[in-house]
Structure 1
Amino acid sequence: MADNGNKRKVMIAMDGSEYSEGALKWFVKNLYRKNDDDVIVLHVTDHRDSMSYSSPWMPVDPALITLAFQKEEEKAKITIKKLDAIIMDAGLQANVVRAHGNPGEQIVKKSEELGITMIIIASRGLGTIRRTIMGSVSDYVVHHSSIPVIVFRN
Structure 2
Amino acid sequence: MGALKLYVFNIRDDRKFYKMATIVIAIDESKFAQFAFKWYAEHLHKDGYRIILFHALENLFMKDLMGPGRHEEFNVRTEKKTAALREMYTKLAQELKINPEIRIEIVDTKPEHAIVDVANKENAKFIVTGTRGMGAIRRTILGSTSEFIMHHARCPVIICKMD
- TM-score bucket (shorter structure): 0.7 to 0.9
The answer to whether the aligner puts 1:13 opposite 2:26 as a matched pair is yes
Which of 1 and 2 has higher RCO (CA within 8 Å, sep 6+)?
A: 2
Q: Please, which of 36, 47, 51 is the counterpart of residue 23 of structure 1?
A: 36
Number of the residue aligned with 1:46: 58
**SS of equivalent residue, structure 2 residue 54:** strand
CA RMSD, 1 decimal: 2.1
CA displacement at 1:128 relative to structure 2: 1.3
Pairing 1:78-117 to 2, within 5 Å after superposition: 78-101=84-107, 102-117=110-125
Which of structure 1's runs of 4+ aligned residues deviate more than 4 A? none
Matches of 1:75 and 1:98 in 2, distance apart?
10
Number of the residue aligned with 1:55: none
The answer to whether the aligner puts 1:151 opposite 2:159 as a matched pair is yes
Number of the residue aligned with 2:46: 33
**SS of equivalent residue, structure 2 residue 77:** helix
CA displacement at 1:47 relative to structure 2: 2.5
**SS of equivalent residue, structure 1 residue 20:** helix
Number of the residue aligned with 1:142: 150
Matches of 1:127 and 1:5 in 2, distance apart?
35
Question: Share of identical aligned residues, percent?
Answer: 24
- Counterpart contact for 1:104–1:138, Cα < 8 Å: yes
* Alignment CA distance shift 1:38-1:61 (3 Å): closer
Matches of 2:46 and 2:78 in 1, distance apart?
34
- Counterpart contact for 1:8–1:117, Cα < 8 Å: yes
One-letter identity of the residue aligned with 1:18: K
| Count of matched residue positions in the alignment of Structure 1 and Structure 2 | 143
Structure 2 residues not aligned, in runs of 5+: 1-15
Matches of 1:18 and 1:137 in 2, distance apart?
15
Partner deviation per Cα, 1:22-72 (whole Å, 9 max, x = no partner) = 00111111111123x111111111132x45xxxxxx9x9673354234313
One-letter identity of the residue aligned with 1:40: I
